[in-house]
Amino acid sequence: MGILKQVAEYLYLRKPDPNEEKTQWMKYMHGINRISIFMFLFALLVMLVRWVIIPLFK
């Protein structure tokens, strides 16, 4: 499976593959990956606000 397809599944943009084997450890791994992607996107949003939007209003 491609990297972009996997990220789309993590971000709930695409349905997961129904034929993929579902083990408990894979669920844990995907959950941790999902959390890390959301934290990364949140950090990018915070950086955007601090570097672009806040200086516009000073």
pLDDT 10s digit of each residue in the chain, 58 long?
Answer: 587 887 777 777 777 777 878 889 888 988 898 899 889 999 999 999 899 888 877 7
Instruction: For residue 49, tell me if it sits in a domain.
Output: yes
Instruction: For residue 16, tell me if it sits in a domain.
Output: no
Instruction: For residue 17, tell me if it sits in a domain.
Output: no
Q: How many domains does the chain have?
A: 1
Model-level pTM greater than 0.85? no
Identify the pLDDT of residue 1: 57
Buried b (16+ CB within 10 A) or exposed e, 25-49: eeeeeeeeeeeeeeeeeeeeeeeee
Instruction: For residue 41, tell me if it sits in a domain.
Output: yes
Instruction: For residue 18, tell me if it sits in a domain.
Output: no
- Domain ranges, residue 45: 3-11+23-56
Identify the pLDDT of residue 42: 96
